A = this chain, B = another copy of it.
Amino acid sequence: MRRIDGRAIAATITAEVTAAVATASVPPTLAVLVPTRDEATAWYVRSIERAARKVGIACRVVQLEEPSRQDVVDRLADLSADPSVHGVICQTPLPDGVALDDVGAFIDPRKDVDGANPESLGRVAAGLSGFAPATAVAVLEVLRHEGVPLAGTRAVVVGRSTVVGKPAALLLLAADATVTVCHSRTADLPAVTREADVLVVAVGRAGFVGAEHVKPGAVVVDVGTNPAADGSLVGDVRPDVAGVAGALTPVPGGVGPVTTAVLLKHTAQAARGL
């Protein structure tokens, strides 16, 4: 069983981003809107700031205090209109009653580096230029960097969220995989997931997928990041999967660092007008 090194993949991507940014006339700027005070969010935003600084991307963190929906919308629209800002992301959690796919529609698709605008998702689905959510792109980057063949293989995605499951399925489809999407209503889930050559698990429940769900030799990508009782992070995949899978992304150190690298890559692309 190969343990996939997400940090190494992230390092490869960020090296490419650093090289691209070094030739830019102005440093790309990523604006991070933080609409709530939340410890995990603050920790993640600091990690984005550190990673951005390393590759030469400026990070502008905008902290809001108990904003209304209109406050969030106005700030996202302002940042989208600001020519000195190249990428705009909106952190979750949002205040009660505010939904990301509602306010996300106010991020200019050309600056929507975490694919929060439904228009971005539609453009990705239609095969047009546009940014898919960074986590979904990170799944594909992991598979590409590992040299996992996708064309004609069976890929199964467990989870149908707008931020991971659905865009990951669309990207796998664009990569010519035969794609199945499973969810809470799927009958006999282990039988369906055992069809997978590539199994992507994005459910958000610790240890949801075990060895009985995995075809021997399959590549398993664990997108889950669930807080454990001891404060550590655990994935959606149980340790016994390591005895069956051909390759597996760990948590932490798998999809997570690649997601941050993709966010920076998208920001550099947005700054170049891609």
Q: Which residues of A contact B (CB under 8 A)?
A: 101-102, 117-123, 125-128, 130, 151-154, 160, 162, 166, 170, 173, 176, 178-183, 185-187, 192
User: This chain: how many copies in the complex?
Assistant: 2
* Prevailing SS type, chain A contact patch: mixed
Would you mind naming 29 contact pairs between A and B with Cβ atoms under 8 Å apart?
A: A101-B126, A101-B127, A102-B128, A118-B119, A118-B123, A118-B125, A118-B128, A119-B122, A120-B122, A121-B121, A121-B122, A121-B125, A121-B126, A122-B123, A122-B125, A125-B125, A125-B166, A127-B162, A152-B186, A166-B170, A166-B173, A178-B182, A178-B183, A178-B185, A178-B186, A178-B187, A179-B181, A180-B180, A180-B181
Is A185 a contact of B152 with CB atoms below 8 Å? Answer: yes
Q: Which residue of chain B lies nearest to A197 when distances are taken between CB atoms in the complex? A: B187
Q: Which residue of chain B lies nearest to A130 when distances are taken between CB atoms in the complex? A: B118
A153 to B160 Cα, complex, angstroms: 16
Nearest chain B CB to A75's CB is how many angstroms away? 21
- Using Cβ atoms and an 8 Å threshold, which residues of chain B touch A152? 185-187
Is B180 a contact of A179 with CB atoms below 8 Å? Answer: yes
- Using Cβ atoms and an 8 Å threshold, which residues of chain B touch A123? 118, 122
Q: Which residue of chain B lies nearest to A100 when distances are taken between CB atoms in the complex? A: B126
A173 and B186 in contact, given A121-B125, A125-B121 (Cβ under 8 angstroms): no
- Using Cβ atoms and an 8 Å threshold, which residues of chain B touch A185? 151-152, 176, 178
| A127-B162, A166-B173 known, 11 other contacts, Cβ within 8 Å | A118-B125, A121-B126, A125-B162, A125-B166, A152-B185, A153-B187, A160-B173, A176-B185, A178-B180, A178-B192, A179-B181
Partner of A119 from B119, B154, B180, B192 at Cβ < 8 Å: B119
Q: Which residue of chain B lies nearest to A121 when distances are taken between CB atoms in the complex? A: B122
- Using Cβ atoms and an 8 Å threshold, which residues of chain B touch A183? 173, 176, 178
Q: Which residue of chain B lies nearest to A123 when distances are taken between CB atoms in the complex? A: B118
A122 to B127 Cα, complex, angstroms: 12
Q: Which residue of chain B lies nearest to A184 when distances are taken between CB atoms in the complex? A: B176
Nearest chain B CB to A201's CB is how many angstroms away? 15
A95 to B130 Cα, complex, angstroms: 25
Q: Which residue of chain B lies nearest to A192 when distances are taken between CB atoms in the complex? A: B178
Partner of A173 from B102, B120, B153, B181 at Cβ < 8 Å: B181
Is B118 a contact of A122 with CB atoms below 8 Å? Answer: yes
- Using Cβ atoms and an 8 Å threshold, which residues of chain B touch A119? 118-119, 122
Q: Which residue of chain B lies nearest to A115 when distances are taken between CB atoms in the complex? A: B122
A95 to B209 Cα, complex, angstroms: 50
Nearest chain B CB to A116's CB is how many angstroms away? 10
